[in-house]
Amino acid sequence: MSIEIISSGLQTTIQDLGREGWRHMGVPESGGADKHSLKLANFLLNKALNSPALECTLTGPSLKFLRSYSLVVTGADMNPKINNKEIKMNKVIDVKPNDILSLDNCSKGCRAYIALSENILAEDFLGSVSTYLPAKLGGINGLALTKGTLIETKSCEPEVFSLANKDFKLNDPFQNEWKLRVIEGPEYDFVKNASKENIFSSIFSVSNDSNRMGNRLVGEGIELTNHDQMVSCPMSIGTIQCPENGSPIILGCDSQTLGGYPRVLQVAAVDLHLIGQLRPNDNIFFERISINHAREEFKKQNSLFPF
C-alpha cells in the first residue's frame, strides 16, 4: 500500500484519458473532465499522457504518502499544501514517507489533478481505469475515493518528451466567466430566429445540478420552433442539448451516448477541456465560429502545447 486517503474531498476519482471505441455499446469516454490539465500533470512528470491521476472536485482530498514520490498538482487551484506548507501549482515536488498533501477549496475552476511519479493501480474496464460512477466501473470498485482507502502504485518508465524544455503557456487562466467557442449543431435550425440572436448575446450561469455527465445552464430560455418529436440521436462530449423547457445542457465526459433533445450547439474541440472546469454559478457566454475556423483554432492549440 502506497497512499492513504486521510480525507476524501467532495468527489475524488481515478481518471486517465478515458476509453474509446465503445460508444456503440453505450459506454461514454469518461476520463479526466479537463483532459488538458490531466495531460499537463503527466507531461510535467515525464509520464505517458494517459497515466491515471486523481481528479479532485471543488474541494480536494488529503493524502498520506507511505513511500517517496515526485508529484504535481494541476488544474483548479485548491491551495495545495504539504505538511501544511503551501506548494505551487504546476510544479514538480518531492515527498517522502508520512508526508501529507492536503487540498482545500478552489474559487476559480472546478477540478484539480494530482499526478505521481509512479503509476496508480486501478481496475481496468475496456482499456481504461477511469472511474465511471453511474455504472460503478473502473477506479477502485467503481467508486469515488473514501477516507481510509489505500491506493497502490507501481514504478514506471519515464517517457521522453522531445519538447520538454519548450517555453509554453502553462494553462488558461481560470476564471468565473468563460467564453466557450461553439459551432452550430445538427438541430440549430430548431431554434426560433429571435432566440438565435439571444443565445450569442446573453449570459448563462451554471446550475448546481451539474456533474461529470453534464452542466445544466440557467439563463434566458432558448425558444424552439414546433418540431416533430425527435427520435434518439447520437450525442457527443460538448453537445449542447436543448429540452423543451429552454434550459440548455452541455454534455460532459460521462454523458449518455444517445439522446432525444435537439442538438442546438456543439462546443468546439479547442474548448472542450474547459467544460470540466465550469463550476456552479459561473457565467458562460457562447461565441459562434465556423467549423473551419474551429479546426484551425484546434490545430493552433495543438502546436502551442507539446502534448
Partner 1 sequence: MKSINLSSISEFSENILLIKLNQESPYSNNSSFFLALSALLREESHWIEVVAAEESIAVKYDDIKISTSKAKDLILSTIKGFSYKEESKTEILLHVPVHYSDEFGLDIEKITKTQSVTKEELINLHSNIKYEVKMIGFNPGFAYLGDLHEKLRIPRLSKPRINLLPGSVGIAGNRTGIYPFGGPGGWSIIGRTPMKLFDNNNKNPFVINPGMRVKFDPINKKEFESFNY
* Angle made by CA atoms 164, 169, 175, in degrees to the nearest 5: 140
Of 135 and 163, the one with the shorter C-beta distance to partner 1 is 135
Residue 109 touching partner 1 (CB under 8 A): no
Q: Are 161 and 306 in contact (CB under 8 A)?
A: yes
Task: Choose between 49 and 156: whose C-beta lies nearer to partner 1.
Answer: 49
Residue among 216 and 263 whose Cβ is closer to partner 1: 263
Residue identified by cell 509520464 is 47
CA–CA dist 306, 104 (Å, integer): 30
For residue 35 the three cell numbers come to 483532459
One of 17, 27, 63, 95 touching partner 1 (CB under 8 A): 27
27 or 145, CB closer to partner 1? 27
Judged by CB under 8 A, the stretch of 51-59, 60-68, 161-169, 292-300 that binds partner 1 is 292-300
> For residue 70, which phi and psi values (nearest 5 degrees)?
-105, 145
Half-sphere exposure of 274 (CA within 13 A, CB side): 24
CA distance 263 to 77: 33
**64 Cβ contact partners less than 8 Å away, ≥ 6 residues apart:** 3, 4, 6, 98, 99, 100
Residue 238 or 248 with smaller CB distance to partner 1: 238
Determine if 183 is a binding residue for partner 1 (CB under 8 A).
yes
Of 258, 287, 300, 304, the residue at the interface with partner 1 (CB under 8 A) is: 258
| 171 lines the binding site for partner 1 (CB under 8 A) | no
Grid cell, residue 248, equals 440548455
For partner 1, the binding residue among 23, 81, 192, 288 (CB under 8 A) is 23
Residues forming the site for partner 1 (CB under 8 A): 20-28, 125-126, 132, 134-137, 183, 185-186, 231-234, 236, 238, 256-259, 263, 266, 268-269, 291, 294-295, 298
